[in-house]
Structure 1
Amino acid sequence: MRFLMLVLSDPELTDPAAEPAPVTIEEWSAEVYDTGRGIEGDRLRPPAEAKTVRRRKGEVIVSDGPFAESYELIGGFDVLECADLEEAVEIASRHPMAAWGAIELRAYWPLDL
């Protein structure tokens, strides 16, 4: 089962030492990717560089920044291959950003189902 793991930063929690992560990002990456549970992942450019695209009444509208005003900012993503949601939660809970940001897990929803 595949999951998209969104890595969210919390601008108000700027001190990682306030809640130490169980492992470093390098250790987490090795745990997840060296075991084949991580498929792909990367950081994302800042929201200020984002574009939101809409089509309304045949017109393409492009605006600066993310569509939704959000307290937490998406800083990166990982695609996980897991047996179930429980395994995905375990993996996400060890990510350093879970200690001072948030991790959102979204199961893939294949079009053929």
Structure 2
Amino acid sequence: MKYLVLIYSNPTTWAHPSFLHHEGSTEDERKAMLAQFEDLMGEIAESGELVDGQPLAAPALAKTIRARAAGLETVDGPFAESKEQLAGFFVIDCETPERAAEIAGRLPDTRFGAVEVRPIMSGSGMEM
């Protein structure tokens, strides 16, 4: 089953990978997190579990579009109700939800933001 892994980060320190730009981290801590990230990406690429992953541009570049009675409404930004914004994503293909959570939990981003794991439904949605 495929899972969407969403990484949330504080846009005030926006850069990629976002965990490398967290205030208060030492150079050694940053190097260790980068090694952890690279090891995880190598592992899940080699196992075939990594389907895709991309960082996203800063939230200031986002547009939100809503259909309203008067037509389409477009506003700047994602306007999430928290200080964290969606920073990037991975699509992984794992045997179990526990494995997807284990992979997500190993991302260094969990130390400073949030990482969400959501099953991706097939066209029928019957697997849920």
Contact 1:50–1:66, Cα closer than 8 Å, also in 2: yes
CA distance, structure 2, for counterparts of residue 68 and residue 8 of structure 1: 11
- Which has the larger share of helix? 2
> Once the two structures are aligned, what percentage of the paired residues are identical?
35
Q: Which amino acid aligns with 1:4?
A: L
Q: 1:14 aligns with which of 23, 32, 49?
A: 23
Which structure exhibits the higher relative contact order, with contacts defined as CA atoms closer than 8 Å and separated by 6 or more residues? 1
What is the TM-score normalised by the length of structure 1? 0.85
Q: Which amino acid aligns with 1:85?
A: P
Counterpart for residue 100 of structure 1: 112
CA distance, structure 1, for counterparts of residue 86 and residue 92 of structure 2: 17
Count of residue pairs the alignment pairs up: 113
CA distance, structure 1, for counterparts of residue 69 and residue 9 of structure 2: 35
Contact 1:52–1:64, Cα closer than 8 Å, also in 2: yes
CA distance, structure 2, for counterparts of residue 68 and residue 100 of structure 1: 17
Q: Which runs of 5+ in 1 are unaligned?
A: none
What is the TM-score normalised by the length of structure 2? 0.76
CA distance, structure 2, for counterparts of residue 16 and residue 37 of structure 1: 30
RMSD of Structure 2 on Structure 1 (CA): 2.3
- Which has the larger share of strand? 1
Change (3 A) 1:106 1:16: farther
Q: Which runs of 5+ in 2 are unaligned?
A: 14-21
